[in-house]
């Protein structure tokens, strides 16, 4: 069978390519091809490397039978996105340990949905389509670090192309919602999807999808920001009334192990908003569009009525207390507390770039907008932005972005300028590098 099946499949593949009549005839054998693929993607079969070439040629034959034939490809895709889970082969193929099998499978899927919104919608409208999407996102994570020009890298590129195609057709919000897990603020697959969306927005030169992403990104930002703020408040043991007070010494009262993942997603959402807003402004300056996406984000409101800038200011105030202070780019040693309860370690990777991207977004939103500038001042945002004018290894270029944000806050705003002028340093570095209090200055 290992000789007969691949030989027959190879002959079929070559016979049907681009020939509609032959494709119609060969499609009658689709159930048998599907059954063979199902058998060769079983757990026992994929333990044998010699089965991989058989699976590859079967997938290629199936692809050639339907590609280029609109009637067949629609019939095929409707069938495969409505099969019972135990009969589906696409998720099994995507999970194959053979990268070339994965590559050929992705070629087949891309051919099915290319420039056809009715077929693309199956990823969000059917449970099988959502399952295919989840399997592919899982596989994209394992393929990301592949060596360039390898089969793994080619498979990653095709997977990225598939999601880029879905994003361009406007499916990002629906895909994100479809990947949600009940009771969880963020799921791993949603984070992976945000990474792909962020990459696509930064590399795409077409702003056509930007406006429709604004509601989704605003909603996600408010949800993630609210969760992060509540979690940090529990850790600090603080309430809204003492957010701006000095840092509490000692260990956190409570650690939320999901917080780093939430902050990682928050960074991605923030970067997407930054990319869209800057791109929109560039297009407006060229007079190619009238869309004011900066205004759209500034007009967005959370369920409790706060705007993005208000949410950003409070989150930055909390992060200024919650994350370790830095000294010349190095974390300050924490104060030891006797008999302090031991707390589980928290992954700090999720906090990378967080302050930098949040303060950058704040600067973009307040640029040229007096109302937002005043809102930030009223919420006590100016002192915390001044505190961020420092070097931080976890946040490259934090100081530069904080200075630019401060510039945008002060430009043409006399009230904000007066606040900054009223703030005087309470200490200074002497010639020996020792921080000394300045005489006659009251600490703010």
Q: Which tens digits make up the pLDDT trace of 176-195?
A: 999 999 999 999 999 999 99
Nearest to 297, CA basis, from 372, 207, 202, 203 = 372
Residue 189 lies in a domain: no
Q: Considering the domain boundaries, does residue 248 fall inside one?
A: yes
In the predicted model, is pLDDT for residue 245 greater than 60?
Answer: no
Rounded mean pLDDT, 11-20: 93
What is residue 326's DSSP assignment?
E
In this predicted structure, the answer to whether residue 155 has a pLDDT above a threshold of 90 is yes
Task: Give a yes or no: residue 13 inside a domain.
Answer: no
Q: Is 370 a domain residue? A: yes
More confident residue, 408 or 350: 408
- pLDDT the model gives residue 339: 46
Q: Per-residue confidence at 173, pLDDT binned at 50, 70, 90?
A: very high
Query: Is residue 346 within 8 Å of 257, Cβ to Cβ?
Result: yes
φ and ψ of 437, to 5 deg: -65, 145
Q: In this predicted structure, which of 47-51, 274-278, 336-340, 403-407 has the lowest mean pLDDT?
A: 336-340
> Is residue 320 assigned to a domain?
yes
Distance CA 367, CA 373 (A): 8
Query: Does pLDDT of 443 surpass 70?
Result: no
The whole-number pLDDT of residue 333 equals 46
In this prediction the pTM is 0.88
| Residue-averaged pLDDT of the chain | 87
Segment 192-206 shows an average pLDDT of 90
Q: Is the pLDDT of residue 171 over 70?
A: yes
Give tens-digit pLDDT for 204-224: 766 788 999 999 999 999 999
Q: What's the confidence (pLDDT) of residue 282?
A: 76
Q: Whole domain around residue 280: which residue ranges?
A: 207-330+349-422
How far apart CA 429 and CA 426 sit, in angstroms, is 11
d(CA 406, CA 409): 5
Residue 352: per-residue pLDDT: 85
The total number of structural domains in the chain stands at 1
Mind listing the pLDDT tens digit for each residue in 367-389?
Answer: 999 999 999 999 999 999 999 99
- CA separation for the pair 392, 121 (Å, rounded): 44
Dihedral over alpha carbons 203, 206, 207, 209 (to 10 degrees): -90
Q: Which of 200-209, 218-227, 309-318 has the lowest mean pLDDT?
A: 200-209
Question: Which residue blocks in 67-145 are alpha helix, DSSP H?
Answer: 70-80, 90-94, 99-113, 117-120, 122-125, 127-143
Q: Looking at the domain assignment, is residue 380 inside a domain?
A: yes
Evaluate whether residue 285 is within a structural domain.
Answer: yes
Q: Residue 168: inside a domain, yes or no?
A: no
């Amino acid at each position: 069978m290992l000789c007969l099946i691949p030989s027959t499949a190879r002959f079929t593949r070559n016979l049907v390519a681009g020939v509609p009549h032959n494709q119609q005839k060969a499609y009658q054998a689709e159930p048998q091809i599907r059954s063979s693929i199902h058998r060769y993607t079983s757990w026992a079969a994929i333990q044998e490397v010699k089965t991989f070439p058989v699976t590859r040629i079967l997938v290629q034959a199936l692809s050639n039978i339907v590609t280029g034939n609109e009637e067949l490809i629609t019939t095929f895709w409707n069938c495969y996105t409505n099969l019972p889970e135990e009969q589906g082969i696409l998720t099994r193929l995507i999970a194959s340990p053979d990268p070339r099998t994965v590559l050929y499978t992705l070629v087949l899927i891309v051919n099915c949905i290319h420039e056809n919104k009715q077929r693309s919608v199956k990823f969000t409208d059917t449970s099988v389509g959502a399952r295919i999407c989840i399997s592919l996102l899982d596989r994209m994570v394992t393929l990301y670090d592949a060596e360039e020009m390898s089969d793994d890298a080619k498979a990653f590129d095709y997977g990225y192309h598939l999601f880029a195609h879905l994003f361009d057709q406007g499916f990002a919000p629906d895909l994100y919602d479809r990947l949600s897990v009940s009771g969880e603020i963020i799921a791993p697959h949603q984070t992976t999807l945000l990474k792909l969306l962020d990459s696509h927005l930064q590399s795409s030169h077409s702003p056509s999808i930007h406006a429709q992403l604004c509601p989704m990104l605003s909603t996600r930002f408010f949800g993630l920001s609210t969760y992060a703020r509540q979690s940090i408040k529990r850790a600090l043991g603080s309430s809204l009334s003492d957010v701006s007070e000095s840092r509490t010494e000692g260990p956190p009262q409570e650690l939320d192990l999901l917080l780093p993942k939430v902050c990682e997603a928050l960074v991605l959402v923030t970067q997407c908003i930054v990319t869209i807003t800057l791109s929109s402004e560039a297009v407006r300056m060229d007079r190619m569009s009238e869309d004011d996406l900066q205004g759209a984000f500034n007009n967005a409101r959370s369920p409790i009525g706060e705007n993005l800038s208000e949410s950003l200011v409070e989150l930055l105030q909390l992060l200024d207390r919650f994350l370790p202070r830095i000294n010349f780019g190095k974390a300050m040693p924490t104060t030891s507390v006797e008999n302090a309860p031991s707390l589980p370690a928290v992954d700090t990777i999720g906090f990378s770039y967080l302050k930098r991207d949040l303060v950058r977004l704040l600067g973009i939103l307040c640029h040229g907008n007096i109302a937002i500038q005043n809102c930030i001042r009223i919420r006590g945002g100016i002192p915390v932005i001044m505190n961020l004018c420092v070097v931080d290894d976890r946040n490259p270029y934090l100081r530069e972005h904080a200075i630019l944000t401060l510039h945008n806050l002060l430009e043409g705003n006399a009230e904000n300028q007066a606040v900054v002028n009223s703030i005087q340093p309470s200490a200074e570095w002497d010639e020996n590098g020792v921080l000394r209090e300045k005489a006659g200055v009251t600490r703010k």
